[in-house]
């Protein structure tokens, strides 16, 4: 299968490069900068990412360019462009001031294949402290900005290009056009990577991989595990047994509603209500990371207990997606994020691991779900934290506090589904993620009727995003916020104040804990 290799030098936007390439119906693989494959027969092009380092730093990452430059079309982005210029005999120096933010592109060579279709003065996004001050002899400038002479260059001897801006980010207005020029026109992608082709190929691979063995899968009610279950069910049917553990901190009625939805999909699901155990182990715990660890530990133990009853199981399936795998290892190979889908269960259960979604980004998972015929209410669900409402309650976790937050959150999310925007779609579909937070460590004074109250505030959170790496607070309509605030205060006992969070990520995060 044709693929683009993206070599990761540590940029925060490397995943965005991958998503943009996949949007061009082209398979790509993100690899650490020093892991270019020995067998590259199916590689049609290489992209070098940005990096937090300067090419002059002692710890800067380097790669043997002769392994692919001249053999495969190559595009360097930011650090990647500077690294190729530096190693090719050019000069990279510290810029007089850090070049960050919007800039306008002047097309020096508008007929160049990389720039085809770009408009003069198109906006691009810069983010670098160094800049190229001299190109190697066989390189030529093809685009500039007001402050950056060598904003884009081309090699006259090999199919190699470099840009000192980031075409993968939203703020580069025609960045997708530039990437299409490289991936489709220059590299020759057949654009055969699609949800339908993925399903056909993966179902055939699963049948061959699993044979007549039995598989168990832990369901969370979220998009990834649900799509994973339906895909496996298409391949192996009743050989799949799903386990859905209720830790007591799901949304209101979610345990029942999700089980009913899974039955409608023909899945073989075991529902386990373990909420009493989780509440008992969380009693008195207020530190967020400790909450997560307790919930993770208890989930593994409850899941193991149920799975052990399926004595003939040989495989453990997980809804691991590509960002989970990328974020769980940094480019030096050290674990930087302990993710629930990339460790723990297989070692303890002596089962072989099956991860049919491991190459997909979140938006691709949703496309596959639609192609599989799954209902919108399952595949369009907002992301929800694994520990559930435990990390949306600031302070001690009790069944009573969870019940309060469940009710407030239910009012908020239901209203979001009901509120119709001018384009005819519900407000819920305009938001990447939303939820309510109970400030259980705080009380505020209020007046209800003729009585003074001293109860907890609830904060509402809603963000827009494309990948959750960055997020902006959603500009929800004032009349919607006023209505939701009134509903929550009037209907939820224990709450007398509603606030709206207007923080973006960064510097804040999407969740509060």
Catalytic positions? 78, 166, 168
CB 210 within 8 A of CB 239: yes
* Alpha helices for 359-510 (secondary structure H): 362-371, 376-379, 399-418, 478-491
Report how far residue 164's alpha carbon sits from residue 126's, in angstroms, rounded to the nearest whole number.
Answer: 7
Report how far residue 497's alpha carbon sits from residue 395's, in angstroms, rounded to the nearest whole number.
Answer: 18
Report how far residue 343's alpha carbon sits from residue 381's, in angstroms, rounded to the nearest whole number.
Answer: 25
Q: Residue 472's beta-bridge partner residues?
A: 464
Report how far residue 169's alpha carbon sits from residue 166's, in angstroms, rounded to the nearest whole number.
Answer: 6
Residue 310 burial by CB count (10 A; 0-12/13-18/19+): exposed, middle or buried?
A: middle
> Would you state the structure tokens that stand for residue 50, as one six-digit string?
């940005």
Cβ-based neighbours of 60, under 8 Å, separated by 6 or more: 51, 53, 54
Residue 454: which H helix or E strand, with range?
strand 451-464
Residue 443 burial by CB count (10 A; 0-12/13-18/19+): exposed, middle or buried?
A: middle
């Amino acid at each position: 299968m044709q693929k683009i290799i993206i070599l990761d030098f540590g940029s925060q936007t490397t995943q965005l490069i991958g998503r943009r390439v996949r949007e061009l119906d082209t398979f790509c693989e993100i690899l650490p900068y020093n892991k270019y494959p020995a067998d590259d027969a199916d590689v049609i092009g290489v992209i070098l990412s940005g990096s937090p380092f300067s090419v002059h730093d002692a710890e800067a990452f380097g790669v043997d360019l002769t392994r692919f430059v001249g053999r495969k079309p190559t595009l360097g982005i930011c650090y990647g462009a500077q690294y190729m210029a530096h190693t090719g005999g050019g000069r990279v120096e510290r810029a007089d001031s850090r070049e960050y933010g919007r800039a306008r592109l002047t097309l020096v060579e508008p007929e160049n294949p990389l720039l085809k279709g770009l408009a003069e003065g198109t906006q691009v996004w810069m983010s670098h402290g160094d800049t190229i001050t001299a190109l190697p002899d066989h390189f030529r400038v093809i685009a500039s900005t007001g402050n950056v002479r060598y904003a884009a260059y081309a090699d006259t001897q090999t199919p190699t290009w470099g840009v000192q801006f980031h075409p993968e980010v939203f703020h580069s207005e025609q960045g997708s056009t530039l990437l299409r020029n490289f991936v489709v026109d220059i590299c020759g992608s057949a654009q055969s990577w699609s949800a339908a082709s993925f399903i056909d190929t993966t179902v055939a691979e699963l049948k061959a991989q699993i044979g007549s063995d039995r598989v168990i899968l832990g369901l969370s009610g979220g998009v990834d595990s649900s799509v994973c279950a339906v895909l496996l069910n298409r391949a192996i049917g009743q050989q799949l047994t799903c386990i859905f553990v209720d830790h007591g901190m799901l949304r209101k009625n979610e345990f029942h509603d999700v089980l009913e939805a899974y039955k409608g999909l023909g899945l073989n699901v075991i529902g386990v209500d373990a909420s009493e155990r989780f509440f008992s182990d969380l009693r008195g715990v207020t530190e967020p990371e400790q909450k997560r660890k307790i919930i993770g530990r208890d989930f593994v133990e409850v899941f193991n207990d149920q799975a052990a009853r399926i004595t003939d199981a040989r495989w453990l399936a997980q809804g691991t997606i590509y960002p989970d795998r990328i974020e769980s290892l940094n480019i030096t190979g050290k674990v930087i994020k302990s993710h629930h889908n990339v460790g723990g269960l297989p070692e303890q259960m002596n089962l072989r691991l099956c991860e049919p979604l491991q190459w997909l980004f979140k938006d691709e998972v949703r496309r596959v779900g639609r192609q599989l015929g799954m209902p919108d209410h399952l595949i369009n669900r907002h992301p929800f934290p694994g520990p559930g409402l435990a990390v949306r309650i600031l302070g001690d976790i009790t069944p009573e506090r969870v019940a309060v937050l469940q009710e407030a959150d239910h009012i908020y999310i239901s209203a979001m589904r009901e509120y119709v925007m001018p384009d005819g779609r519900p407000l819920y579909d305009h938001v990447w993620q939303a939820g309510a937070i109970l400030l259980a460590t705080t009380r505020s004074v209020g007046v209800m009727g003729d009585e003074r109250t001293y109860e907890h505030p609830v904060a509402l959170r809603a963000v827009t995003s494309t990948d959750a790496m960055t997020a902006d607070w959603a500009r929800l309509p004032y009349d919607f916020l006023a209505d939701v605030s009134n509903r929550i205060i009037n209907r939820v006992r224990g709450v007398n104040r509603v606030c709206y969070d207007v923080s973006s990520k960064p510097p804040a995060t999407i969740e509060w804990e």
